[in-house]
Amino acid sequence: MLKALALIFLFQLYGESLCQNGTRPNIVIVMSDAFDGRLTFDPGSKVVQLPYINYLRELGTTFLSAYTNSPICCPSRAAMWSGQFVHLTQSWNNYKCLDANATTWMDLLEKNGYQTKMMGKRDYTSGSHSVSNRVEAWTRDVQFLLRQEGRPVTQLVGNMSTERIQKVDWKNTDMATQWIHQKAASPHQPFALYLGLNLPHTYKTESLGPTAGGSTFRTSPYWLKKVSSDLISVPKWLPMAAMHPVDYYSTFTKNCSGDFTEEEVKEIRAFYYAMCAETDAMLGQVIAALRETSLLHNTVVIFTADHGELAMEHRQFYKMSMFEGSSHVPLLIMGPGLVSGLQVNQLVSLVDLYPTILDIASISAVGNLSGYSLLPLLSKSSCFSKRQHPDWALSEYHGCNVNASTYMLRSGQWKYITYADGQSVPPQLFDLMLDKDELHNVVHKFPDVQAQLDKLLRSIVDYPKVSTTVHLYNKKAFGAWHQSLGRNYSQVIANLRWHVDWQKDVLANERAVDKWLNSSL
Beta bridge partners of 519: none
| Rounded CA separation 131/119 (Å) | 25
| Rounded CA separation 165/453 (Å) | 44
> Residue 348 class from Cβ within 10 Å (0-12 exposed, 13-18 middle, 19+ buried)?
buried
Query: What's the half-sphere exposure (Cβ side, CA atoms, 13 Å) at 241?
Result: 0
Three-state secondary structure call for residue 84? coil
| Rounded CA separation 120/171 (Å) | 9
Sequence-separated (6 or more) residues with CB below 8 Å from residue 229: 266, 270
Nearest-5° Cα angle at 268, 128 to 236? 105
What is the arrangement of strands in the sheet containing 191-196, beginning at the earlier edge strand?
115-120, 191-196, 26-32, 299-305, 331-334, 61-63, 342-344
Does residue 73 carry a catalytic annotation?
yes
Q: Label the pairing between strands 342-344 and 61-63.
A: parallel
C-alpha 301, offset from chain centre: 18
Number of H helices, E strands in the chain: 18, 16
> Residue 285 class from Cβ within 10 Å (0-12 exposed, 13-18 middle, 19+ buried)?
middle
Please pick, among 19, 73, 74, 383, the residue that the annotation labels catalytic.
Answer: 73
Q: Is residue 238 a contact partner of residue 439, using CB atoms and an 8 Å limit?
A: yes
> Residue 138 class from Cβ within 10 Å (0-12 exposed, 13-18 middle, 19+ buried)?
buried
| Rounded CA separation 199/216 (Å) | 12
Listed in order, strand segments (DSSP E) in 105-152 are 115-120
Helix (H) or strand (E) holding 508, with range, is: helix 506-518
Sign of the C-alpha dihedral computed for residues 432, 434, 436 and 442 taken in this order: negative
Query: What's the half-sphere exposure (Cβ side, CA atoms, 13 Å) at 277?
Result: 23
- Active-site residues, by number, are 73
